[in-house]
Amino acid sequence: MNITIAENAGFCFGVRRAVELVYNEIEKGGHIYTYGPIIHNEEVVEDLRNKGVKVVESLTELKDLPKGTIIIRSHGISKKLYDEITSYGHKIADATCPFVKKIHNTVSEYNDRHIIIVGDPEHPEIKGIIGWCNGDNYTVIQNIKEAEQIDLPFDTKVCMVSQTTFNYIRFQDLVEIISKKGYDIFALNTICNATQSRQTEAYEMAKKSDAMIVIGGKHSSNTRKLYEICKKECENTYYIQKPEDLDLNLLKSFRNVGITAGASTPHNIIKEVLTIMSEKTFEQLLEEENVIEISNGDVVEGIVLGVKEDEIILNIGYKSEGIITRSEYTNTPNLDLTTVVKPGDKMQAKILKVNDGEGQVALTYKRLVAEKGNKRLEEAYNNKEVLKAKVAAVLNGGLSVIIDEARVFIPASLISDTYEKDLSKYADQEIEFVITEFNPRKRRIIGDRKQLIVAEKEALKKELFSKIEVGMTVTGTVKNITDFGAFIDLGGADGLLHISEMSWGRVDNPKKLYKVGESITTFIKDIQGEKIALSLKFEDQNPWIKAEEKYANGNVVTGKVARMTDFGAFIELEPGIDALLHVSQISKEHIEKPSNVLSIGQDITAKVVEFNKDDRKISLSIKALDSPESDVAETTAVEETEGKAEVAPEESEPAETVSADDVAVEENEETPTEDSEDNK
């Protein structure tokens, strides 16, 4: 026979705390009373009675008893009853379960709402909760029929709580029914984590077992619910109160038997049942039981019994369960713990306080992880290791990242190699950095991302210059645009594409040609140290290569007026080729200035009267279209003299190459004087 005992079987920490409190009072001596049976287990109550502990059932009975210590059991009592007991002069030892106390505080806090209590109205815990409500402003329900019968005014505000030992699934069903009625409802799951975990574990065990044994007092509400859960999943489920109730003949034919027990069942009774079913002696089983001794600062490992949004209950093998609050689990605000931890998970934690004031062990997870994280960061600091983490917060002065719950601060000056005005773009982004300062005692752990960027750019620059040469065609991204040119990121260094190298023709404004981020292919015209001059004036695209044929003497051509002087107009025949139309060749009639009859951008048709390939000069004449050759020749000497004042540009030399980081990119920035069109 394979026998499995539920890990969550037996005393919960609230019951254990109450029972231990009574035994501690016995050691002190004096008259000891419990208001009602301390727990719903006859064996325990009988043992306490034999040790002189008297169970008091009414205030009248207590009033006539000698002064002593009255112990409030884990179920709790009403506020009125508590105040009356206090008035009798007895010393009060309150063993109310912390989970029950939480319900008392909740119904008191929300006394402006109608309180709906889910549970058995005859159970002492429910009677105690009622005593903390505001008068008669409450309703107790325990099944679907009673929930459906609730009929409150539509605008009623409702607060729902539950008996700590109630069935979790049934509670959810009742909450759903009440919610559909349209009330403004605040539902709080007040079922004890240990109860919820015990029920879940019993359900899973019953599905896998041939038979189940449920141990607990006949008056124990939570034990009855365990029995109901197990019976539904496993037909061969037996409810016993003590070892003598077990009929071994019923179990002989079963291979896998599971054992669970209610929250009021002492561990020794569970052990006795196991002893009867196995060959081991009771003494041997007690020796195998490992109850650890703990102290503040110890690291313990446990199994998660239950999880709420803001709290984790951990079984650490101690007489009390451990509690990890949200603030001691993580630095992440408002994290729902149910999304990261589930019952049955194993986890380590560090003990903050063996007794947090409510009989529980206060634990911390984040501080343990942070200590490990600090060791990790110290190793990274010593080894100059590159770390990668998600940005946890964007602060005024920099970024905060978390490595295993250990915080690292990256100042704004160390985020990038350029000034970052808006750091919000880094929110939730994964970034790489190195630790440059490590002093956890002063909580000063500094990260540096800038040096990685600088090192990477330096490596890319070195690689780029090792493979580029003058004349090579390269592709880059437009990084910056000024009035005198554009800076192109070549992947390691920037190259300057000067305005004079953007086209064989005339370019007035680079910002009209290119956009930041645009990809562009150029060739390297010159390299001076770390300065790279780029050009788009590819020689095979030089318009003068075929100009001799296209613009031979006598050819009739068309073009646009590009600019004008007093002695003539320059006509753009195509980008990179301008021709001079002398004022005397515009018309047969005398014209004072070209601007009197022409306008910039105007299309004109004229005849080529002179083509000089060596000097790259072309002269045009409109008059020659219908005039004898002699008329044109008469003005040739004048044109040659006056035309020297301004000729069509052949090719401007670029200004000295500079870095993109050396110039400010402002829309109203003035073009440097040496680059102005008038000085070319």
The burial class, CB within 10 Å (0-12 / 13-18 / 19+), for 527 is middle
Give the residue among 188, 118, 114, 119 at the shortest CA–CA distance from 151.
114
Q: Is 471 left (phi over 0), alpha (psi -120 to 50) or beta?
A: left
In this structure, the number of other CB atoms found within 10 A of the CB of residue 122 comes to 10
- Asked if residue 600 lies in contact with residue 562, where contact means CB atoms within 8 angstroms, the answer is yes
In this structure, the number of other CB atoms found within 10 A of the CB of residue 191 comes to 25
- Asked if residue 311 lies in contact with residue 325, where contact means CB atoms within 8 angstroms, the answer is yes
Quick check: helix, strand or coil at residue 471? Answer: coil
- Asked if residue 162 lies in contact with residue 118, where contact means CB atoms within 8 angstroms, the answer is yes
β-partners of residue 247 are: none
Residue 7, CA distances (Å) to 17, 211, 240, 290, 317 in order = 19, 17, 19, 13, 10
Annotated catalytic, 125? yes
The burial class, CB within 10 Å (0-12 / 13-18 / 19+), for 333 is exposed
How many Å apart are CA 363 and CA 314, to the nearest integer?
9
Q: Quote the tokens at residue 263.
A: 């929250």
How many Å apart are CA 218 and CA 241, to the nearest integer?
7
- Asked if residue 104 lies in contact with residue 132, where contact means CB atoms within 8 angstroms, the answer is yes
Residues 6+ apart with CB under 8 A from 220: 40, 41, 262, 263, 264, 265
Which of 25, 27, 42, 125 is labelled catalytic?
125
Q: Is 340 left (phi over 0), alpha (psi -120 to 50) or beta?
A: alpha
Helix (H) or strand (E) holding 82: helix 79-87
The burial class, CB within 10 Å (0-12 / 13-18 / 19+), for 156 is middle
Q: What is the 3-state secondary structure (H, E, C) of 226-291?
A: HHHHHHHHCCCEEEECCHHHCCHHHCCCCCEEEEEECCCCCHHHHHHHHHHHCCCCHHHHHHHCCC
The residues carrying an active-site annotation are 125
